[in-house]
Structure 1
Amino acid sequence: MQPRNMSMSGVVDLAAVKAAQEAKAKAEQARAEAARRGDTGAVSPAELVLDVDEAGFERDVLQRSTEVPVVIDFWAEWCEPCKQLSPVLERLAVEYNGRFLLAKVDVDANQMLMQQFGIQGIPAVFAVVAGQALPLFQGAAGEQQIRETLDQLVQVAEQRFGLTGLTVDPDAVPGERPADAEVPAGPYDAMLEAAVRALDSGDLGGAVTAYKNVLSEDPGNPEAKLGLAQAELLRRVQGLDAQKVRQEAAEKPGDVAAQIAAADLDLVGGHVEDAFGRLTDTVRRTAGEDRNSARLRLLELFEVVGAEDPRVTGARRALARALF
């Protein structure tokens, strides 16, 4: 497992967006299945802090990260700053009452994990959310800084990934959680998997067709809608000369097609606000078919980023002001 950095404030990572949607769907399915079984899924406070090794990393960190953010504390017995930091993290894990899990990794016993995360020194603290790894901080940190970082982490996990954390029951007995039931496969899982394979292999046309096939049967399928928006965006920017497109957009502010192409590149490059602002301005200063073309592309880009992203919420308000 090679960790990836996931920005919590700026860049749109299309893979992370896809992971967010998948994590939300899995979390909703798991909650629905638990409710059907009458299982609250509650854990004891003692289960909020785990000792994790290489053998159990996939189970205890990667799999659990689809239901709750997992904070990883890389430490060692000989590390004095670790002895100051670790108790603070353990106390906060209990205080946050299931909003995150704390996984403690002894680097002396788990050298491979240390190398995979690219850790040069300890203490080092990472998080994994929906299988996406991101660094939180390294070295000594004050409790206020730690709290601010954790607050941001749990907010992003809930807003972008639908991870609301675990239910904690002080009377629960550690280790007595019911065995997880298999979530039944959805009716379009095979078709969606084929679309993902096409997308991952660079067959953007095939991915677009596969996602459209799903939507023809299930128009509201969220994974297909997101996948189609991503595939169409990537197909539009494929082969574009970015420098030429940006130069043309700068020289021809009234050219709607040039602004739309530049907005696509803005989004793929992670400049979300620039993409939204460019198209909103285009809507504001155009009329008729030109205005409608810019408006529709902006709505498509909203689909890529996700309706729950605060940048989309703000851009929708700006679009409404531009239109009315």
Structure 2
Amino acid sequence: MSENPSAQHRTVNAHGAVDLSALAGSSGQQPASSSSPGGGQDSWTAAVAPQQLQQIVQLSAQVPALVLIHGQDAVSQQFLSSLQHAVDAQRGRIVLATIDAAASPELAQQAGKLPVVTAFLSGQPIAEFDSTAPADQLPQVVTQILQLATQNGITGTVKPLSRTAGEDDDAETEPELPPLHQKAHRALEEGDYDAALTAFEQAVKENPGDAEAKLGIAQVQLMKRTQGADLAAVRQRAAENPEDVRAQTDVADVDVLGGHVEDAFNRLIRYIQTHFGDDRETARKHLVELFSIVGDTDPRVAAARKKLASALF
């Protein structure tokens, strides 16, 4: 993975991420359930042993996988609980594996400060964050990781890993994804972009204020535009046709999908600076759509918005 769009966010730092996969064994066991199977709610969080990590890392080819190393102290337990709620709210689009530091001193020593989380995509560690991320910001951090996964074509869902304890049934739980959102995600898992787009569009038709569905539309449209794209041919066409707005937006699309977010933004801003009329407006609208896909909380979006304002005025 060439770039992490959350790397500059203060709660997510990809530099120096602990590569837990190096210590993962090849046990054939399933991830251990963190609770009794006798009741409770579906959960995409599971307590695992170090030898089960390889399975979690492999799972990150389908969905982002978070590995949390924690202690038994109050800070660790609160962090675990808040992160589990944020993960379970996504209903299988991301998973969380938890490791008790007391049972895994080697991992705990490597991790250093506890609690600490390493995020994996496609088998590679791509980000790390810890309890300096306030509990109320953990859903936002999870969203950022999901946005990164979408940019890299990882849009699957997986079955629950465990059940929460039965006594928690009466506690406040995160709502399930709306039916149309679930339909869209199932379609994405099957590679049916048209069906996913139709489901998200219907969701917006029924609820014009559905921001998640609008983001889903933009993300699916990006994947449709870049499906089967020949990167070398796209770049060559843009180089040979610098005045062609479609050629420039095509390169911006593949750059965002490949993680080269700043390159994509700067390309379109330069085009907007030097062109006028309909082509300029086309480039502007396309850039704003890419902003929404990357996410307004990404610092590169804020910086690019300032550059865009200067280019326009």
User: TM-score if structure 2 supplies the norm length?
Assistant: 0.57
1:127 lines up with 2:113 in the alignment: no
1:21-100 mapped onto 2 (5 Å cutoff): 54-56=32-34, 62=45, 71-73=68-70, 93=76
Aligned length: 227
Distance 2:126 2:82 in 1: 16
Residue among 269, 272, 290 paired with 2:279: 290
1:243-258 mapped onto 2 (5 Å cutoff): 243-258=232-247
Tell me if the contact between 1:225 and 1:303 (Cα under 8 Å) persists in the aligned partners. Answer: no
Q: Tell me how large the CA RMSD over aligned residues is.
A: 4.6
1:300 match? 289
Structure 1 residue 235 displacement after superposition? 0.3
Structure 1 residue 266 displacement after superposition? 0.2
Tell me if the contact between 1:208 and 1:228 (Cα under 8 Å) persists in the aligned partners. Answer: yes
Relative distance call for 1:178 and 1:240 in structure 2 (3 A) is: closer
Distance 1:293 1:275 in 2: 15
Q: Percent identity?
A: 34
Secondary structure of 2:209's aligned partner: coil
Distance 2:285 2:221 in 1: 13
Distance 2:235 2:283 in 1: 17
Tell me if the contact between 1:277 and 1:315 (Cα under 8 Å) persists in the aligned partners. Answer: yes
Aligned letter for 1:62? T
Structure 1 residue 220 displacement after superposition? 1.5
Residue among 6, 9, 22 paired with 2:7: 9
Distance 1:72 1:218 in 2: 40
Tell me if the contact between 1:266 and 1:274 (Cα under 8 Å) persists in the aligned partners. Answer: yes
Structure 1 residue 246 displacement after superposition? 1.0
2:228 match? 239
More displaced stretch, 125-134 vs 197-206: 125-134
**Higher Cα radius of gyration:** 1
Residue among 259, 272, 279 paired with 2:268: 279
1:264 lines up with 2:247 in the alignment: no
Distance 1:131 1:217 in 2: 33
Residue among 100, 107, 132 paired with 1:104: 100
Tell me if the contact between 1:283 and 1:322 (Cα under 8 Å) persists in the aligned partners. Answer: yes
Distance 1:250 1:196 in 2: 36
Tell me if the contact between 1:263 and 1:279 (Cα under 8 Å) persists in the aligned partners. Answer: yes
1:313 lines up with 2:302 in the alignment: yes
Tell me if the contact between 1:267 and 1:275 (Cα under 8 Å) persists in the aligned partners. Answer: yes
Residue among 152, 175, 181 paired with 2:172: 181
Tell me if the contact between 2:101 and 2:107 (Cα under 8 Å) persists in the aligned partners. Answer: no
Distance 1:182 1:157 in 2: 16
Structure 1 residue 158 displacement after superposition? 6.3
Aligned letter for 2:117? A
Structure 1 residue 155 displacement after superposition? 10
Aligned letter for 1:56? S
1:136-147 mapped onto 2 (5 Å cutoff): none
Relative distance call for 1:271 and 1:136 in structure 2 (3 A) is: closer
- Superposed CA deviations along residues 104-128 of structure 1, whole A, max 9, x for unmatched, are 15667xxxxxxxxxxx977444516
Distance 2:245 2:126 in 1: 41
Structure 1 residue 299 displacement after superposition? 0.9
Tell me if the contact between 1:160 and 1:309 (Cα under 8 Å) persists in the aligned partners. Answer: no
Tell me if the contact between 1:263 and 1:275 (Cα under 8 Å) persists in the aligned partners. Answer: yes
Distance 2:83 2:180 in 1: 33
Structure 1 residue 319 displacement after superposition? 0.9
Structure 1 residue 55 displacement after superposition? 2.5
Structure 1 residue 251 displacement after superposition? 3.1
Tell me if the contact between 2:231 and 2:254 (Cα under 8 Å) persists in the aligned partners. Answer: yes
